[in-house]
Amino acid sequence: MKTLIDELKKKYELKKFTQQNEFTCFVTVSKKHAVPFITHLRDVENFTHLSLVTAVDRIEEDLFQITYILHNYQLKMDLGVRVFINRNEPVMESIHHLWKQAATYQRELKEMFGIDFPGSPGVDESLFLEGWDNIPPMRRDFDTRKYVSETYFPRKGRKTHDPATYMRNKLYPTENSQ
């Protein structure tokens, strides 16, 4: 795999390469080379299976990271392609022309993160959250607990039976009063 990446590094400006374990590697590519790189992987290098499209909210660096995980049936290896896009204008090119199921993944990302994929069929339709009018809920600046305590009716008297605290209070009861 490393040889493959070295071959393509010059052409597509690949950056950080990490080998996660025996079967999985990750590589970073810039936004403008992302879709040509993925097309090259699918057509030439036999990474014909799209496993997953997901996103990570890197709020400290003001970026969204979109990860495409592709699988190669000949080498039996996974390759994760990381793309960083600007968090304030989250728009990414769509890959629904390569794999039809990417349209559903992109719909989910639009709903949960707010990342737009112009041209993807049905990307504006809601998948799970019908009539959602808040910010996309998977972003890290969405306060879930506050939203839940305002919208739904939490029942008071909720206790947690965390084993560590329970055993600590049982074995050292004098510390409990502190």
Partner 1 sequence: MKKEKQSKNLILPNNDLPENERHLFCDARPQPSKILGKYVENFLNWARANSLWILGFGTGCGAIELRPLMTSRYDMFRYGIAARPTPRQSTVFIIGGYASVKTLKRIVKSYEQMQDPKFVLALGSCTINGGMYWDSYNTINRIDHYIPVDVYITGCMPRPESLIAGLDELKKRIMEGKTLGANQYAENFDWYKANQKKIIKDWNMPDFNW
In terms of Cα–Cα distance, which of 25, 20, 21 is closest to 3?
25
Q: Total residues contacting partner 1 (rule CB under 8 A)?
A: 18
Considering the complex, what minimum distance in angstroms separates the CB of residue 152 from partner 1? 4
Of 31 and 139, the one with the shorter C-beta distance to partner 1 is: 139
Instruction: Note whether 121 and 96 are within 8 A (CB).
Output: yes
Closest CA to 68 of 85, 87, 83: 83
Burial category of 68 from C-beta neighbours within 10 Å (exposed 0-12, middle 13-18, buried 19 and up): buried
Nearer to partner 1, 131 or 163 (CB): 131
In the complex, minimum distance from the CB of residue 153 to partner 1, in angstroms, rounded to a whole number? 5
Show the site string, 123-162: x = touches partner 1 by CB under 8 A, - = not. Answer: -----xxxxxx---x----x-xx-xx--xxxxx--x----
DSSP secondary structure code for residue 74 in this structure: T
**Rounded to an integer, what distance in angstroms lies between the CA atom of residue 9 and that of residue 39?**
15
Is 73 a binding residue for partner 1 by CB under 8 A? The answer is no
Measured from the CB atom, the residue of 144 and 174 that comes closer to partner 1 is 144
Comparing CB distances to partner 1, the nearer of 27 and 55 is: 55
Q: What is the phi/psi pair of residue 12, to 5°?
A: -110, 10
3-state secondary structure (DSSP) of residue 122: coil
Residues that bind partner 1 (CB under 8 A): 128-133, 137, 142, 144-145, 147-148, 151-155, 158
